[in-house]
Amino acid sequence: MQRSAIALFMLLVGSASTLHADDHGLVDLFNGKNLDGWTQRNGTATYRVEDEMIVGKTSDGSPNSFLCTDKLYGDFELKFDVKVDSALNSGVQIRSQSVGDTPEGRVNGPQVEISTDLMAGYIYGESAGGWMTPDEDRKPHHHFKEDEWNSYHVVAFGEHIQVWLNGHQVSDLTHKERYESHPKGFIGLQVHGIGSGQGPYEVRWRNLKIRDLSQFTPLYNGKDLSGWTTNGNWLPQDDRSLLIQPREGETGWQRYDDYLWSNKKYKDFVLDVEYSYPPGGNSGVFFRVGDLEDPVQQGIEVQILDSTSKSEPLGPHDHGGVIRTAGPSANMSRPPHQFNRMVLTCIGSHLQVELNGTEIIDISLDEGPVKDRPPEGYIGFQDHGQPNNIKFRDIRIREINH
C-alpha cells in the first residue's frame, strides 16, 4: 500500500473511532451557519446568525418571542454560552410546548432564567405557574457576569433539573407537577418582550450542545439496593442519594465484599454518576471487573478523590485519573460536600471521562497497563473505609449495542 493510502486509511480509522464515541456524547444543537431545525414561535423579535452565534433582537412593543428546536427533548444535558444586553431579560425554554402546537400558540413550560437581577439560573414556569424554584431557594447571587459571556450547563432527567452557571450550581430542583405536565418538549431561546419606545436590545447564544439522555436507565432506584450486591454499609437516603458510611473500625481499601457491585455485567456503555465527598474523601468507579475477588487486578478504576487543593500536573491517582494508566488533563474537582458529575464513555478500547462538564481523559485502554483487563465486567463503587462518608446519586447508564 502506498504511503499516501496508508495515511488516509489511518486517518479514517482514527476518525471513525472518535466519531463512534462522540455519537453518544454532546452534539451541536446549532450548526453555526443557519437556523435549519429551528422555528420561531410567538412575538415579532428577529433572530439571525452572525459569527456562529444566534442573535436575537427585540422588536418595539412585541411580546415574548421564542426560537425553538423542531426536535423535542425529554431527558437531556444542555450546554450553551449567552451574552445579553444588561437592560434585557431572557431565558432558555426546556421541555416546552405551544398551545395547539402552532407557532402562534402561547409557548409554555420550564425556563432557565437569563438575567442581571441576581436570579439567573433559577427555573421559571413560562405561562406555566410562575417560579418553579421555591421562594426560599431563590437566593440572590453574583454568578452571572453582566456584559460578558456566561456559560450555562443544564441537566434534566425525570423530575430533576440542575443548572450550573459559570461553574457554580444554582438550581437543584425536583418538580413532580411540572414534569407530569411537561415531560418532553422543545428547547427555545427567548427574546423578552419590551414596551413601546424601548430598545432595541440583543441577546446572543453560542456553543449550543446537547446530549440526549432518553436512552439512559437508572442503575440505582433511589430507594434500596435492588440490582446491587454488597456486604458494606451502603445506606439509601431520603433525598434518593446513597451514602457509604463505613462501620466503626472499618479501614483499608482491600475489603472487596464492601464495595458496591452491579449484579449485571457491562461491556460498552456510557455511565453517568454524581457524588460528593468529605474533605480528603477517597473512592473510585470500577468497571469491566471480571473477578469480584480481585477487582484491582481484574478491572479498571477511575479515581474519586478530594483533589481540590492540588495543583497541576495531575497523575493517575488524582481525581478523574485512570489508576495506573493516565492522569486527568485538568483539575475539575468541586469542593467537599458539593456534588461532582462524572460521565464515562467506554466503547471497545476507547475511554473518555468527563468531570463536571469538561473532558479530562481520552485514551486507548489497549495501549497501557490495563490492556489485558476483561472486555466486559461488573460496575462498582469503592468503599475506602473510614472516614470516607461519600454520597452517590443519579447513577444511570446507556448500554451501547453494536
- Which of 185, 212, 239 finishes a domain? 212
Would you list the DSSP string of 266-309? ESSEEEEEEEE--TT-EEEEEEEES-TT-TTTSSEEEEEE--TT
Per-residue pLDDT, 381: 98
Q: What is the mean pLDDT of residues 221-239?
A: 96
pLDDT of residue 4 exceeding 50: no
Longest dimension (CA), the chain: 73
Residues 250 and 208 in one domain: no
- List pLDDT tens digits, range 10-65: 333 333 333 334 457 889 999 999 999 999 999 999 999 999 999 999 998 899 99
Same domain, residue pair 92 and 240: no
**Beta strand pairing call for 228-229 and 260-266:** antiparallel
Residue 122 has pLDDT above 50, yes or no: yes
Q: 6 lies in a domain?
A: no
In a shared domain, residues 311 and 277 = yes
**Amino acid present at 86:** S
Mean pLDDT value of segment 87-96: 96
pLDDT reading at 399 higher than 90: yes
What percentage of the chain exceeds 70 in pLDDT? 94
Average pLDDT over residues 268-286: 97
Q: In this structure, are 208 and 301 located in the same domain?
A: no
Check residue 402 and give its pLDDT: 67
**Pair 207, 234 in one domain:** no
Mean pLDDT, the chain, integer: 92
Tell me the per-residue pLDDT of 325-379, one tens digit each, with 9 for 90 and over. Answer: 999 999 999 999 999 999 999 999 999 999 998 999 999 999 889 999 999 999 9
The answer, yes or no, to whether residue 8 has pLDDT greater than 50, is no
Region 290-296: mean pLDDT is 94
In three-state secondary structure terms, 340 is strand
Contact call for residues 44 and 56 (beta carbons, < 8 A): no
Question: Tell me, what's the pLDDT at 391?
Answer: 98
Give the pLDDT mean for 72-91: 96
Q: Judge whether 10 lies within some domain.
A: no
Task: Dump strand ranges (E) for 123-248.
Answer: 123-126, 130-131, 150-157, 160-165, 168-174, 186-191, 202-212, 217-218, 228-229, 234-236, 242-244
73 assigned to some structural domain: yes
User: How many domains are there within the chain?
Assistant: 2
Q: What is the separation of C-alpha 347 from the centre of its chain, rounded to a whole number of angstroms? A: 19
Instruction: Report the share of the chain in percent with pLDDT over 90.
Output: 86
Answer yes or no: do 392 and 246 share one domain. Answer: yes
> Do 171 and 40 belong to one domain?
yes
**Which CATH number goes with the domain that contains 171?**
2.60.120.560
Decide which of 179, 212, 245 is a domain's last residue: 212
Domain that holds residue 338: 217-399
- For residue 192, give the C-alpha cell: 423578552
Enter the pTM of the model: 0.86
Name the domain boundary from 212, 245, 277: 212
From CA 205, how far away is CA 189, in angstroms rounded?
8
Q: What is the pLDDT of residue 23?
A: 57
Residues 159 and 206 in one domain: yes
Nearest CA-CA partner of 124 in 154, 86, 101, 91: 91
Q: Is the pLDDT of residue 296 over 80?
A: yes
